[in-house]
Amino acid sequence: MKLRALSELQALKMQLDHARREAAEREARERAEAQRLQRERRLFADTVGPVQPLKDRRLAELPRPRPAPLPLQRTLDEQSVLREALSDEMDVESLLETDEALSFRRPGVGPEVPRRLRRGEWTIQAQIDLHGLRRDEARERLSEFIREASRQGLRCVRVVHGKGHGSPGKSPVLKGKVRAWLVQKNEVMAFTQARASEGGAGALVVLLGP
């Protein structure tokens, strides 16, 4: 029993010694921190001079709502793209295939591509209807549509421009403009007049680059 009691006393003494050492070390750290702060205050006072502390007005600090992040650069880029110079005066007749559908294919695209488009071998994944829009509005809408379709990785789209029956003089003005605008879009690899079931002379089937 005496040995056990002696062992317990020794263990208790070791615990007390450890606690005293920790307390002494903590006190030394706090004293060193207080001295460091005092030196910094003296240095600040020597550098700045006497200052008057602000009164504690005991006002609550309310969290201020932050504005939602806006993709400003993306907006600017998109506006720049929409302002791209798609000429209305470009003569595309020489660039069109001399077939009944007046097809177009970019240099390097095989002659079979417009024919495959015409036969419907590519699935139409999206379409835009420009029928009835004014020229400027149609140009911007088409530019945005082609750009977004290309961004989404679409390959085949349909552009409905109408047959011009409602235009002055029954002349299909928008039809020719759409062809000129598409030729100027780098994303467009080829296009051809749609089949009768897909809009015929009032629409184009457009192949976009991968």
How many Cα neighbours within 13 Å face the side chain of 159?
Answer: 30
pLDDT of residue 96: 57
Burial 68-99 (b: 16+ CB within 10 A, else e): eeeeeeeeeeeeeeeeeebeeeeebeeebeee
Stated as kind and residue range, the H or E segment containing 118 is helix 112-119
The pLDDT value given to residue 18:
83
CB atoms under 10 Å from CB of 172, counted, come to: 18
- For residue range 116-149, what is the model confidence (pLDDT) as tens digits? 998 889 999 999 999 888 888 999 999 999 999 9
Residue 144's closest CA among 83, 205, 199? 83
Report the half-sphere exposure of 139 (CA within 13 A, side-chain side).
18
21-51 pLDDT, tens digit each: 888 898 989 998 988 888 888 877 777 767 6
For the segment 200-204, the average pLDDT, to the nearest whole number, is 90
Predicted confidence (pLDDT) per residue in 66-120, tens digit? 767 766 666 556 555 544 545 555 555 545 554 566 788 999 999 899 889 988 8
